[in-house]
Amino acid sequence: MTTIPSLGYSIEIGDLLQGSLSKLLSEEFSTRKKVIICDENTHENCVPYLTTSIDELANAEIIVLPAGEENKILEICAQVWEALSEYKIQRNDIILNVGGGMITDLGGFVASIYKRGVDYMNIPTSLLAMVDASAGGKTGVDLGVYKNQLGLFSTPRLVVCDNIFLGTLPDEELLWGKAEMLKHGLIQSKEHWLNLKTKPVKDITIEDIAVSVAIKNEIVKADFKEENVRKGLNFGHTIGHALEGFFLEQDKKAHGHCVAWGIVAESLLAAKFGTLPMEEFKEIFAHIQSEYPQIKLEPDNLTHLIELMKHDKKNNSKRINFTTISTIGVSHIDQAFSEKQIQEVLQELFIAH
């Protein structure tokens, strides 16, 4: 078990039965109600393991949500708040969010708003949630196709990442998580990038996960409210979130796929109009292309993508803000590019020639 101290809580990486989860539930919340928030998939594949292995969860109330990013919306939150009220959940009870990033984002938001704040824990069950949502204290929901427009910073009591749950995931979802891990290497650790490049996604270890979590956690601890260095974690996400919003409009789910190609696009911006050596861009491009299918768009999609980018919450005034890299392992925040430059890169990468 690897324990990473964060801002008032711990992130435990390893066998959850060997960590502090059961002890915390039995000591601090022994007489308190427990609620598990999950989705249809984790209700079937993950929750039974928890409720049969941890005595304190045997009688937990279970709220099952429909799976998918399209359900990370206020309407679903309202249904959960109604259920919590029906279960007579009080401020000193505990909510456990068991699922991917959609569940930990929404569940954390629900807990933080209900009765002005109920304690919660996160048990991320996807690789993406383990390496991305486990550290940071960001909660939130989407507003239409605009990602994470509503939310607040709120820290859980505990986060437990147990790779036993990864065995339930298809390769595609594992690749979504790997995209975030590759990002961690590109912005801060060339060694991590080079290590991950050599590994098929099935060969990623619990130690690799711990490295990614530690990288993100150190950045978050230095800048919890995302006023400075934490913006570095947005590398690949300005274009990536716009691509994801575009595909959500067509009822297609592709978060990690879009982030991977967002990394390529923002690397190309840095190579053409910044200081990233073109050889390093080619290295990034070659690896992403080898694992993530090429995204193809129509020319008239590009203007819409740029409009989606203008709604990105990281923007200041009329600028579209990016994090870029000057070399693998070194990032720079608050980099602005013109719409013409952005369109040129999108055209080069995503429009058939």
189 and 235 share a domain?
yes
Report strand pairing: 10-13 vs 158-161. Answer: parallel
Please check whether residues 224 and 81 belong to one and the same domain. no
- Supply the pLDDT for residue 316: 65
Average pLDDT over residues 239-256: 83
At what angle are helices 190-197 and 171-188 packed, to 10 degrees?
150
Same domain, 164 and 194: no
310 or 110: which leads in pLDDT: 110
- Identify the domain boundary among 168, 183, 207: 168
* Domain that residue 53 falls in: 2-168
Q: Rounded CA gap, 143 and 148, in Å?
A: 7
Domain harbouring 144, CATH code: 3.40.50.1970
Q: Evaluate whether 174 touches 202 at the Cβ level (below 8 Å).
A: yes
Say yes or no: 136 and 180 in one domain. no
Do 160 and 199 fall within a single domain? no
Q: CA 311: distance to chain centroid?
A: 19
Same domain, 78 and 184: no
Q: What is the per-residue pLDDT across 295-334, written as a single tens digit (0 to 9) for each?
A: 999 999 999 999 999 887 666 656 788 999 999 999 999 9
Say whether both 153 and 284 belong to one domain. no
List, in sequence order, every residue forming a beta bridge with 286; answer none if it has no partner.
none
Q: Which of 236, 233, 254, 235 is nearest to 297 (CA)?
A: 254
What are the pLDDT digits (tens) for 122-165?
999 999 999 987 888 899 999 987 888 899 999 999 999 999 99
Domain endpoint, select from 121, 145, 168: 168
Tell me the average pLDDT across 82-90: 97
My answer on whether 86 and 158 are in the same domain is yes
pLDDT at 148: 84
Distance CA 150, CA 217 (A): 22
Task: Tell whether 164 and 200 lie within a shared domain.
Answer: no
Report the CATH number at residue 326: 1.20.1090.10
Q: How many domains does the chain have?
A: 2
Are 90 and 187 part of one and the same domain?
A: no
Please give the model's pTM, rounded to 2 decimal places. 0.91
Neighbours of 108 (CB within 10 A): 27
- State the pLDDT at residue 315: 66
pLDDT band at 58 (very low <50, low <70, confident <90, very high): very high
At 276 the pLDDT is 97
How much is the mean pLDDT over the chain?
A: 93
Q: If pLDDT is split at 50, 70 and 90, which confidence band does 353 have?
A: low
- The answer to whether residues 136 and 47 belong to one domain is yes
Q: Last residue of a domain, which of 114, 141, 168?
A: 168
pLDDT, mean of residues 4-25: 96
pLDDT for the residue 251: 66
Q: What pLDDT was estimated at residue 351?
A: 93
Instruction: Quote the CA–CA distance of 243 and 255 in Å, as a whole number.
Output: 9
Mean pLDDT of 230-242: 94
240 with 156, same domain: the answer is: no
**Could you give the angle at the alpha carbon of 156 between the alpha carbons of 74 and 66, nearest 5°?**
35
CA distance 135 to 214: 9
Could you read off the pLDDT of 273-302 as tens digits, one per residue? 999 999 999 999 999 999 999 999 999 999
pLDDT at 319: 76
